[in-house]
């Protein structure tokens, strides 16, 4: 079994501040971390590895320092890393990102499960996982809260605010993980020593544009159908209203009416 886990390196948003004038993130001096949902995806993959001895490949697209999340994944137990990095990939939106990552997954080949996080804490679109599945033309289950093998069938629980779905899916499949899926393990001392030493460096392959079969009109800034037109910090306007009425029943009725007018209930 081969499992591919997609890991995005993101700024630690607990430590990010926003430049009020430009509306952009101040990234200077902000530590980079593995996107939290992706850590749950990785943990789920590691548990399959513990159980069935799966081969686990961690994949990240980003600048050279994104290698750090691959090393962290190897310190936790991933077998190898693939860094997708090229100037030509810069400025990619979710469509372009997914196009490129899908091409890298095709190149790695022979996979049973592709695991993504539900959502990245910086871009926050939750699009990349589903798009990769579309480009690879494989089934997908998002918001995965539980995944286990029953014989050779994969049983997956999808969590939504309205209830849970239980699916039986065939592989290869793409799953997106939510934090309810598990508690990620810590990297081990041995894992850290190997991953951050020469051994770790040797286990990371770097894919550039020349290594992938991608349509160059679909990637990078030029190939991205979405463009950031403007980013701004939403202004918070607090307006309060005190509801009047003859008795509490009346007041409650008015409140319910108002809330449903606002589509809040």
Partner 1 sequence: MDFNFSKSEEVIQKVAREFAEKEVAPLAEEIDREGRYPFETFDKMVKCGFTGIAVPVEYGGSGGDDITKIIVISEIAKKCGATAAILSIHAVFVQTVLKFGSEEQKQKYLPLVTSGGKKTAFALTEPNAGSDAATVKTTAVLEGDEYVLNGTKCFITGGNVADYVVVFASTDPSKGVKGLSAIIVPTSTPGFSVGKIENKMGIRASQTAEIIFDNCRVPKKNLVGKEGQGFKIAMIGLDGARIGVAAQALGLAEGALEESVSYMKERVQFGKPIAALQGLQWYIAEMATKIECARWMIYRAAYLKISGQPFTKEAAMAKLNASETASFVTNRALQIHGGYGYMKDYPLERMVRDAKITEIYEGTSEIHKVVISRAVLG
Ligand X SMILES: Cc1cc2nc3c(=O)[nH]c(=O)nc-3n(C[C@H](O)[C@H](O)[C@H](O)COP(=O)(O)OP(=O)(O)OC[C@H]3O[C@@H](n4cnc5c(N)ncnc54)[C@H](O)[C@@H]3O)c2cc1C
Calculated CA dihedral for residues 7, 127, 88, 73, nearest 10 degrees: 0
| Binds 224: which of ligand X, partner 1, none (CB < 5-8 Å by kind) | ligand X
d(CA 101, CA 134): 12
Query: Following DSSP, what letter does each residue of 200-232 receive, concatenated?
Result: HHHTEEEE-GGGS---GGGSHHHH-S-------
Total of chain residues touching ligand X, rule CB under 6 A: 33
The Cα angle at residue 105 between residues 196 and 53, in degrees rounded to 5: 60
Counting contacts by CB under 8 A, is residue 208 touching partner 1? no
Residue 182 CB, shortest distance to partner 1, in Å, is 14
| Binds 192: which of partner 1, ligand X, none (CB < 5-8 Å by kind) | partner 1
Token pair listed for 216: 């160059």
- For 109, the 3-state DSSP assignment is coil
Select from 166-174, 183-191, 207-215, 245-253 the region that touches partner 1 (CB under 8 A). Answer: 183-191
- The residue within the footprint of partner 1, chosen from 49, 187, 205, 251 (CB under 8 A), is 187
Name residues contacting ligand X, limited to 25-84 (CB under 6 A): 35, 37-38, 59-62
Question: For 200, how many CA atoms within 13 A lie in the half-sphere containing its CB?
Answer: 21
- The residue within the footprint of partner 1, chosen from 186, 227, 238, 261 (CB under 8 A), is 186
The Cα angle at residue 140 between residues 134 and 143, in degrees rounded to 5: 125
Name residues contacting partner 1, limited to 15-34 (CB under 8 A): none
- The residue within the footprint of ligand X, chosen from 110, 217, 227, 237 (CB under 6 A), is 227
Q: Choose among 186, 184, 191: nearest CA to 39.
A: 184
- The residue within the footprint of partner 1, chosen from 109, 110, 150, 189 (CB under 8 A), is 189
Q: Which is nearer to ligand X, 227 or 237 (CB)?
A: 227
d(CA 26, CA 130): 29
Question: For 90, how many CA atoms within 13 A lie in the half-sphere containing its CB?
Answer: 5
Name residues contacting ligand X, limited to 196-225 (CB under 6 A): 224
- The residue within the footprint of ligand X, chosen from 90, 197, 208, 245 (CB under 6 A), is 90
- The residue within the footprint of partner 1, chosen from 16, 192, 204, 255 (CB under 8 A), is 192
| Binds 187: which of partner 1, ligand X, none (CB < 5-8 Å by kind) | partner 1
d(CA 252, CA 265): 14
d(CA 164, CA 117): 18
| Binds 185: which of ligand X, partner 1, none (CB < 5-8 Å by kind) | partner 1
Counting contacts by CB under 6 A, is residue 133 touching ligand X? no
d(CA 35, CA 13): 10
Residues near ligand X, by CB under 6 A? 6-8, 35, 37-38, 59-62, 90-94, 97, 101, 116-117, 119-120, 122-129, 224, 226-228
Residues near partner 1, by CB under 8 A? 72, 75, 185-197
């Amino acid at each position: 079994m081969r499992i591919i886990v997609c890991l995005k390196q993101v700024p630690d948003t607990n430590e990010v501040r926003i430049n009020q004038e430009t509306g952009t993130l101040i990234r200077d001096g902000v530590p980079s971390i593995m996107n939290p949902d992706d850590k749950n995806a990785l943990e789920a993959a590691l548990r399959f590895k513990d159980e069935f001895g799966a081969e686990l490949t961690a994949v990240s697209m980003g600048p050279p320092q994104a290698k750090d999340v691959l090393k962290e994944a190897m310190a936790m137990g991933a077998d190898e890393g693939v860094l997708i990095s090229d100037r030509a990939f810069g400025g990619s939106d979710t469509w372009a990102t997914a196009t490129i990552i899908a091409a890298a997954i095709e190149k790695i080949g022979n996979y049973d499960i592709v695991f993504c996080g539900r959502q990245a804490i910086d871009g926050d679109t939750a699009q990349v996982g589903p798009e990769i599945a579309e480009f690879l033309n494989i089934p997908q289950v998002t918001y995965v809260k539980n995944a286990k093998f029953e014989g050779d069938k994969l049983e997956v629980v999808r969590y939504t605010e309205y209830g849970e779905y239980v699916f039986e899916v065939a592989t290869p499949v793409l799953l997106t993980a939510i934090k309810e899926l598990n508690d990620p393990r810590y990297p081990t001392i041995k894992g850290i020593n190997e991953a951050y030493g020469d051994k770790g460096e040797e286990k990371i392959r770097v894919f550039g544009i020349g290594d992938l079969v991608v349509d160059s009109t679909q990637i990078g800034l030029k190939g991205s159908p979405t463009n950031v037109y403007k980013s701004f910090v939403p202004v918070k306007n607090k307006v309060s209203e005190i509801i009047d009425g003859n008795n509490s029943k009346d007041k409650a009725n008015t409140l319910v009416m108002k809330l449903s007018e606002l589509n809040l209930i």
